[in-house]
């Protein structure tokens, strides 16, 4: 199962040795070779996975990504996860997108993020997502300004406080 979608066994091309995660071909790939790594148990958020499931998911991502890069002879990958509906998740089941990349495959390299944001397993869901969610505006690198060292240090301090306060809950 992928959310509410029944996946044909012929579309599963890898299962982890623990059988906690699997890799499946994509019904609607953004680019050739775009695949999904899913948790076996249907849960919607990364935080819903057990520590064993979480570790297995990312080990599976590493195996699948490196094997496809080698076998398909592409030079890079985008590895993306939309963790929750506000992040663009269209199927409430933890899944990681692996998208092979070649130099020049998009006019702007960051255009891939719009495609990931719009992706859904059916055209109906895709159109609903596009209509309901604002488009992500990713400025060109030349239009982005570097942050100050002080701003970055302040954020690092703040984020560290979150880790110290909340990480005990999830470990």
List active site positions: 95
CA Rg, the chain, in Å? Answer: 18
Q: Which residues pair with residue 95 across a beta bridge? A: 38
Most distant CA pair in the chain: distance in Å?
53
Alpha carbon distance 92, 32 (integer Å): 24
């Amino acid at each position: 199962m992928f959310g509410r979608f029944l996946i044909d066994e012929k579309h599963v091309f890898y299962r982890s040795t623990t059988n906690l995660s699997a890799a499946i071909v994509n019904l609607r790939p953004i680019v050739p070779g775009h695949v999904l790594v899913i948790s076996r148990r249907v849960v919607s958020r990364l935080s819903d996975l057990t520590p064993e499931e979480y570790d297995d998911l990312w080990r599976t991502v590493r195996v699948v990504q490196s094997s496809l890069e080698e076998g398909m002879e592409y030079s890079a990958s985008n590895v993306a996860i939309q963790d929750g509906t506000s992040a663009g998740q269209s199927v409430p089941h933890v899944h990681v997108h692996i998208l092979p990349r070649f130099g020049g495959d998009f006019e702007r390299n960051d255009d891939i993020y719009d495609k990931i944001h719009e992706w859904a397993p059916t055209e109906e869901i895709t159109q609903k997502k596009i209509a309901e969610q604002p488009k992500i505006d990713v400025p060109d690198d030349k239009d982005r300004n570097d942050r100050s060292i002080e701003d970055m240090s302040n954020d690092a301090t703040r984020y560290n406080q979150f880790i110290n306060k909340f990480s005990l809950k999830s470990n």
